[in-house]
Amino acid sequence: MLSAAITTAAQALTEDTSIAQLDRLQFQFISSQGQEISTSFVRLGSGTPILLLHGFDSSVMEWRRLQPLLGLECETWAVDLLGFGFTERATGLSFSPSSICEHLHSFWQRLIQRPMVIVGASMGGAAAIDFVLKYPQAVEKLVLIDSAGLQQPPKIGKLMFPPLDRLATSFLSNPQIRQGVSKAAYFDRVWASEDARVCAALHLQCVGWQQALVGFTKSGGYGNFGNLLGQIKQPTLILWGRQDQILGVKDADRFQQLLPNSRLVWVENCGHVPHLEQPEVTAELVRKANHHWLGS
Protein backbone atom coordinates (compact mmCIF):
# COMPACT_ATOMS: atom_id res chain seq x y z
CA MET A 1 0.00 0.00 0.00
CA LEU A 2 1.45 3.35 -1.02
CA SER A 3 1.51 6.16 1.51
CA ALA A 4 -0.37 9.41 1.06
CA ALA A 5 2.97 11.20 0.59
CA ILE A 6 3.89 8.94 -2.34
CA THR A 7 0.44 9.26 -3.88
CA THR A 8 0.65 13.04 -3.63
CA ALA A 9 4.16 13.16 -5.13
CA ALA A 10 3.04 10.86 -7.96
CA GLN A 11 0.55 13.47 -9.14
CA ALA A 12 3.53 15.25 -10.73
CA LEU A 13 4.14 12.31 -13.12
CA THR A 14 3.46 13.23 -16.75
CA GLU A 15 4.81 10.37 -18.88
CA ASP A 16 2.24 7.69 -19.71
CA THR A 17 4.68 4.86 -19.04
CA SER A 18 5.48 6.27 -15.58
CA ILE A 19 1.83 6.63 -14.60
CA ALA A 20 1.02 3.14 -15.89
CA GLN A 21 3.98 1.52 -14.08
CA LEU A 22 2.92 2.96 -10.74
CA ASP A 23 -0.70 1.96 -11.35
CA ARG A 24 0.42 -1.64 -11.93
CA LEU A 25 2.32 -1.86 -8.65
CA GLN A 26 1.36 -4.87 -6.52
CA PHE A 27 2.41 -6.13 -3.09
CA GLN A 28 2.96 -9.66 -1.83
CA PHE A 29 4.15 -10.85 1.57
CA ILE A 30 7.45 -12.67 1.09
CA SER A 31 9.16 -14.63 3.85
CA SER A 32 12.60 -13.23 4.74
CA GLN A 33 14.72 -13.41 7.89
CA GLY A 34 11.83 -14.88 9.82
CA GLN A 35 9.44 -12.08 8.85
CA GLU A 36 6.75 -11.60 6.23
CA ILE A 37 7.91 -8.64 4.14
CA SER A 38 5.47 -6.67 2.00
CA THR A 39 7.30 -6.78 -1.31
CA SER A 40 6.48 -4.50 -4.25
CA PHE A 41 6.51 -5.72 -7.84
CA VAL A 42 5.00 -5.25 -11.30
CA ARG A 43 3.99 -8.22 -13.44
CA LEU A 44 3.14 -8.07 -17.15
CA GLY A 45 2.53 -10.61 -19.92
CA SER A 46 2.81 -14.37 -20.13
CA GLY A 47 5.32 -16.91 -21.38
CA THR A 48 8.99 -17.28 -20.43
CA PRO A 49 9.58 -15.51 -17.10
CA ILE A 50 11.95 -12.53 -17.12
CA LEU A 51 12.92 -10.90 -13.82
CA LEU A 52 14.13 -7.27 -13.84
CA LEU A 53 16.40 -5.99 -11.04
CA HIS A 54 16.85 -2.24 -10.60
CA GLY A 55 19.95 -0.27 -9.68
CA PHE A 56 21.14 1.39 -6.46
CA ASP A 57 18.59 3.53 -4.59
CA SER A 58 16.04 2.89 -7.32
CA SER A 59 12.75 1.02 -7.78
CA VAL A 60 10.53 -0.81 -10.25
CA MET A 61 9.87 2.61 -11.77
CA GLU A 62 13.26 2.24 -13.47
CA TRP A 63 11.67 -0.35 -15.79
CA ARG A 64 8.72 1.81 -16.84
CA ARG A 65 9.75 1.95 -20.51
CA LEU A 66 11.29 -1.51 -21.00
CA GLN A 67 8.89 -3.75 -19.10
CA PRO A 68 5.79 -3.04 -21.26
CA LEU A 69 7.81 -3.92 -24.38
CA LEU A 70 9.08 -7.20 -22.93
CA GLY A 71 5.63 -7.96 -21.57
CA LEU A 72 4.25 -8.22 -25.11
CA GLU A 73 5.94 -11.63 -25.45
CA CYS A 74 7.10 -12.74 -21.99
CA GLU A 75 5.95 -13.01 -18.39
CA THR A 76 7.92 -10.06 -17.12
CA TRP A 77 8.46 -9.27 -13.45
CA ALA A 78 10.06 -6.20 -11.91
CA VAL A 79 10.68 -6.44 -8.18
CA ASP A 80 11.94 -3.98 -5.59
CA LEU A 81 14.93 -5.51 -3.84
CA LEU A 82 15.00 -5.76 -0.07
CA GLY A 83 15.80 -2.33 1.39
CA PHE A 84 14.98 -0.53 -1.85
CA GLY A 85 12.04 0.81 -3.82
CA PHE A 86 8.63 0.39 -2.22
CA THR A 87 9.39 -2.95 -0.51
CA GLU A 88 8.81 -2.81 3.24
CA ARG A 89 11.81 -1.97 5.40
CA ALA A 90 10.74 -3.78 8.55
CA THR A 91 12.49 -3.18 11.87
CA GLY A 92 15.25 -5.64 12.68
CA LEU A 93 16.05 -6.65 9.10
CA SER A 94 19.53 -6.94 7.68
CA PHE A 95 19.97 -5.16 4.33
CA SER A 96 23.18 -6.84 3.19
CA PRO A 97 23.71 -8.42 -0.25
CA SER A 98 23.22 -11.89 1.25
CA SER A 99 19.88 -10.81 2.77
CA ILE A 100 18.83 -9.29 -0.55
CA CYS A 101 19.65 -12.56 -2.33
CA GLU A 102 17.73 -14.67 0.20
CA HIS A 103 14.67 -12.41 -0.08
CA LEU A 104 14.88 -12.52 -3.87
CA HIS A 105 15.00 -16.32 -3.83
CA SER A 106 11.91 -16.39 -1.58
CA PHE A 107 10.17 -14.11 -4.09
CA TRP A 108 11.10 -16.48 -6.92
CA GLN A 109 9.91 -19.53 -4.95
CA ARG A 110 6.61 -17.89 -4.10
CA LEU A 111 5.64 -16.30 -7.41
CA ILE A 112 7.76 -17.52 -10.37
CA GLN A 113 8.84 -21.09 -9.60
CA ARG A 114 10.42 -21.73 -13.02
CA PRO A 115 13.86 -21.18 -14.56
CA MET A 116 13.95 -17.58 -15.72
CA VAL A 117 15.90 -14.95 -17.57
CA ILE A 118 17.29 -12.53 -14.98
CA VAL A 119 18.10 -8.97 -16.08
CA GLY A 120 20.11 -6.68 -13.83
CA ALA A 121 20.98 -3.02 -14.38
CA SER A 122 23.91 -1.38 -12.61
CA MET A 123 23.77 -2.57 -8.96
CA GLY A 124 20.95 -4.87 -10.06
CA GLY A 125 23.50 -6.60 -12.27
CA ALA A 126 25.62 -7.38 -9.21
CA ALA A 127 22.50 -8.66 -7.44
CA ALA A 128 21.72 -10.84 -10.47
CA ILE A 129 25.27 -12.25 -10.52
CA ASP A 130 25.05 -13.02 -6.79
CA PHE A 131 21.70 -14.77 -7.33
CA VAL A 132 22.95 -16.87 -10.26
CA LEU A 133 25.98 -18.00 -8.28
CA LYS A 134 23.85 -19.07 -5.31
CA TYR A 135 20.78 -20.41 -7.12
CA PRO A 136 21.91 -21.49 -10.61
CA GLN A 137 18.95 -23.86 -10.99
CA ALA A 138 16.58 -20.89 -10.96
CA VAL A 139 18.25 -19.07 -13.87
CA GLU A 140 18.20 -20.02 -17.54
CA LYS A 141 19.90 -16.92 -18.97
CA LEU A 142 21.53 -13.78 -17.60
CA VAL A 143 21.42 -10.24 -19.00
CA LEU A 144 23.69 -7.56 -17.54
CA ILE A 145 23.00 -3.90 -18.37
CA ASP A 146 25.93 -1.57 -17.55
CA SER A 147 26.48 -3.83 -14.57
CA ALA A 148 28.27 -3.36 -11.28
CA GLY A 149 30.18 -6.31 -9.88
CA LEU A 150 33.77 -5.81 -11.02
CA GLN A 151 34.80 -3.00 -8.71
CA GLN A 152 35.53 -2.92 -5.01
CA PRO A 153 32.79 -1.28 -2.92
CA PRO A 154 33.48 2.25 -1.66
CA LYS A 155 34.94 2.56 1.81
CA ILE A 156 32.24 5.00 2.89
CA GLY A 157 30.57 2.17 4.83
CA LYS A 158 33.27 2.42 7.49
CA LEU A 159 32.30 6.05 8.04
CA MET A 160 28.55 5.50 8.29
CA PHE A 161 28.05 6.27 11.97
CA PRO A 162 25.96 9.06 13.54
CA PRO A 163 25.74 11.84 12.52
CA LEU A 164 27.58 11.08 9.26
CA ASP A 165 25.03 8.41 8.28
CA ARG A 166 22.21 10.97 8.39
CA LEU A 167 24.32 13.51 6.54
CA ALA A 168 25.13 11.00 3.77
CA THR A 169 21.52 10.00 3.23
CA SER A 170 20.40 13.63 3.37
CA PHE A 171 22.93 14.31 0.64
CA LEU A 172 21.42 11.52 -1.50
CA SER A 173 17.91 12.85 -0.97
CA ASN A 174 18.86 16.34 -2.18
CA PRO A 175 16.89 17.06 -5.40
CA GLN A 176 19.80 18.89 -7.02
CA ILE A 177 22.18 16.02 -6.32
CA ARG A 178 19.74 13.45 -7.67
CA GLN A 179 19.12 15.52 -10.77
CA GLY A 180 22.86 15.78 -11.36
CA VAL A 181 23.19 11.98 -11.18
CA SER A 182 20.20 11.63 -13.52
CA LYS A 183 21.80 13.92 -16.11
CA ALA A 184 25.07 12.00 -15.91
CA ALA A 185 23.22 8.72 -16.51
CA TYR A 186 21.98 9.77 -19.97
CA PHE A 187 23.83 10.48 -23.19
CA ASP A 188 20.92 12.66 -24.35
CA ARG A 189 20.14 14.74 -21.30
CA VAL A 190 16.67 15.63 -22.52
CA TRP A 191 15.69 12.36 -20.81
CA ALA A 192 16.59 13.87 -17.42
CA SER A 193 13.12 15.39 -17.25
CA GLU A 194 10.93 16.40 -14.35
CA ASP A 195 9.01 13.15 -14.79
CA ALA A 196 12.27 11.20 -14.50
CA ARG A 197 13.14 13.13 -11.34
CA VAL A 198 9.80 12.28 -9.76
CA CYS A 199 10.11 8.59 -10.72
CA ALA A 200 13.56 8.39 -9.15
CA ALA A 201 12.46 10.03 -5.90
CA LEU A 202 9.05 8.48 -5.13
CA HIS A 203 10.49 5.74 -2.92
CA LEU A 204 12.31 8.28 -0.74
CA GLN A 205 8.94 8.79 0.95
CA CYS A 206 8.92 5.18 2.21
CA VAL A 207 9.28 4.57 5.95
CA GLY A 208 12.81 3.44 6.77
CA TRP A 209 14.43 4.61 3.52
CA GLN A 210 17.29 6.32 5.34
CA GLN A 211 17.92 3.48 7.81
CA ALA A 212 17.90 0.79 5.09
CA LEU A 213 20.33 2.72 2.90
CA VAL A 214 22.67 3.19 5.86
CA GLY A 215 22.39 -0.52 6.69
CA PHE A 216 23.18 -1.57 3.13
CA THR A 217 26.17 0.78 2.96
CA LYS A 218 27.51 -0.42 6.32
CA SER A 219 27.31 -4.02 5.05
CA GLY A 220 29.87 -3.14 2.39
CA GLY A 221 27.49 -3.55 -0.54
CA TYR A 222 28.43 -5.58 -3.61
CA GLY A 223 32.10 -6.17 -4.22
CA ASN A 224 34.15 -7.65 -7.03
CA PHE A 225 32.82 -10.95 -8.42
CA GLY A 226 35.69 -11.28 -10.91
CA ASN A 227 37.12 -14.49 -9.43
CA LEU A 228 33.69 -16.15 -9.41
CA LEU A 229 32.36 -15.28 -12.86
CA GLY A 230 33.95 -18.36 -14.41
CA GLN A 231 31.44 -20.46 -12.44
CA ILE A 232 28.50 -19.00 -14.35
CA LYS A 233 27.57 -21.34 -17.17
CA GLN A 234 24.32 -19.67 -18.18
CA PRO A 235 24.36 -17.83 -21.52
CA THR A 236 24.97 -14.18 -20.70
CA LEU A 237 24.19 -11.08 -22.72
CA ILE A 238 26.14 -7.98 -21.73
CA LEU A 239 24.55 -4.72 -22.85
CA TRP A 240 26.55 -1.53 -22.37
CA GLY A 241 25.86 2.09 -23.24
CA ARG A 242 28.73 3.33 -25.38
CA GLN A 243 28.77 6.67 -23.52
CA ASP A 244 28.35 5.39 -19.93
CA GLN A 245 29.68 8.12 -17.61
CA ILE A 246 28.65 6.42 -14.36
CA LEU A 247 30.65 3.16 -14.53
CA GLY A 248 32.64 3.95 -17.65
CA VAL A 249 33.12 1.34 -20.38
CA LYS A 250 36.18 -0.73 -19.39
CA ASP A 251 34.21 -3.25 -17.34
CA ALA A 252 32.13 -4.22 -20.37
CA ASP A 253 35.10 -5.97 -21.99
CA ARG A 254 36.19 -7.43 -18.66
CA PHE A 255 32.78 -9.04 -18.14
CA GLN A 256 32.96 -10.58 -21.60
CA GLN A 257 36.42 -11.98 -20.91
CA LEU A 258 35.47 -13.44 -17.52
CA LEU A 259 32.03 -14.89 -18.31
CA PRO A 260 32.53 -18.20 -20.21
CA ASN A 261 29.36 -18.11 -22.33
CA SER A 262 28.82 -14.43 -22.98
CA ARG A 263 28.49 -11.84 -25.70
CA LEU A 264 28.92 -8.08 -25.44
CA VAL A 265 26.66 -5.73 -27.39
CA TRP A 266 27.26 -2.00 -27.33
CA VAL A 267 24.23 0.31 -27.33
CA GLU A 268 25.20 3.35 -29.34
CA ASN A 269 24.35 6.95 -28.45
CA CYS A 270 23.48 5.80 -24.96
CA GLY A 271 24.66 6.37 -21.40
CA HIS A 272 24.36 4.25 -18.25
CA VAL A 273 20.68 3.34 -18.64
CA PRO A 274 19.93 1.74 -22.06
CA HIS A 275 16.62 0.43 -20.71
CA LEU A 276 15.48 4.03 -20.21
CA GLU A 277 17.29 5.82 -23.03
CA GLN A 278 17.03 3.14 -25.73
CA PRO A 279 14.16 0.89 -24.53
CA GLU A 280 13.16 -0.41 -27.97
CA VAL A 281 16.73 -1.42 -28.82
CA THR A 282 17.21 -2.99 -25.38
CA ALA A 283 13.93 -4.89 -25.60
CA GLU A 284 14.78 -6.31 -29.01
CA LEU A 285 18.21 -7.48 -27.82
CA VAL A 286 16.74 -9.15 -24.73
CA ARG A 287 14.03 -10.81 -26.83
CA LYS A 288 16.62 -12.17 -29.27
CA ALA A 289 18.72 -13.49 -26.41
CA ASN A 290 15.65 -15.16 -24.94
CA HIS A 291 14.39 -16.81 -28.14
CA HIS A 292 17.52 -17.59 -30.13
CA TRP A 293 20.40 -17.08 -27.70
CA LEU A 294 22.40 -14.43 -29.42
CA GLY A 295 21.39 -15.44 -32.92
CA SER A 296 23.07 -18.85 -32.79
| Digit-coded pLDDT (tens) for 53-82 | 999 999 999 999 999 999 999 999 999 999
CA atoms within 13 Å, Cβ hemisphere of 130: 26
Over residues 25-54, the mean pLDDT reads 97
**Euclidean distance between CA atoms 126 and 132, whole angstroms:** 10
Q: What is the pLDDT of residue 134?
A: 98
In a 10 Å sphere around its CB, with 0-12 CB exposed, 13-18 middle and 19+ buried, how is residue 22 labelled?
A: buried
**294 φ/ψ sector (left φ>0, alpha ψ -120 to 50, else beta):** left
**Euclidean distance between CA atoms 213 and 210, whole angstroms:** 5
Domain over 4-291 is classified CATH 3.80.10.10: no
Amino acid in position 71: G
Q: What is the pLDDT of residue 295?
A: 39
Question: Are 60 and 79 a contacting pair, CB within 8 Å?
Answer: yes
Q: What is the pLDDT of residue 180?
A: 87
| Digit-coded pLDDT (tens) for 148-181 | 999 876 655 454 455 445 656 676 778 888 888 8
Looking at the predicted structure, is the pLDDT value of residue 105 above 60? Answer: yes
| Digit-coded pLDDT (tens) for 223-260 | 999 999 999 999 999 999 999 999 999 999 999 999 99
**Euclidean distance between CA atoms 231 and 166, whole angstroms:** 39
Q: What is the pLDDT of residue 174?
A: 82
| Digit-coded pLDDT (tens) for 260-296 | 999 999 999 999 999 999 999 999 999 988 776 543 4
Looking at the predicted structure, is the pLDDT value of residue 85 above 80? Answer: yes
Over residues 37-53, the mean pLDDT reads 97
Residue ranges of the domains in the chain?
4-291
Rounded to whole angstroms, what are the CA distances from 220 to 59, 155, 158? 20, 8, 8
Q: What is the pLDDT of residue 151?
A: 87
